[in-house]
Amino acid sequence: MPESIVNSKGAVVIPSGIRKRLRIKPGDRVRFRETREGVIVVEPDYDLLDLVGMLDSNGVHLTLEDMERISATAALVKE
């Protein structure tokens, strides 16, 4: 399980594999959510413009994992 060290200002580095999976880029905002298991990082909201370029004449380039992740994010944001 990836881990990070909290610095003196309370900042942590989100491991690169997690940043890539959640498509977190420099300047993005993330949310933290407390659960019974601990604290989780909630990926940034996606704007409709983020979908530009994901479609072409050959069809959709979203994987099932991408669709599930986006759907889960939308559900978390509504809570």
Q: In this predicted model, what pLDDT tens digit does every residue of 4-61 receive, in sequence order?
A: 899 999 998 989 988 888 788 888 888 888 888 888 877 666 666 665 555 555 556 6
Whether 75 has a pLDDT exceeding 60, the answer reads no
- Within the chain, all domains assigned CATH 2.10.260.10 are found at 1-44
- State the pLDDT at residue 26: 87
- State the pLDDT at residue 58: 59
Q: Which CATH class, in words, describes the domain spanning 1-44?
A: mainly beta
Q: What b-and-e string marks burial along 28-45, b requiring 16 or more CB atoms within 10 Å of the CB?
A: eeeeeeeeeeeeeebbbe
Q: Could you say which DSSP state residue 15 is in?
A: P
- State the pLDDT at residue 7: 93
pTM score, two decimals?
A: 0.48
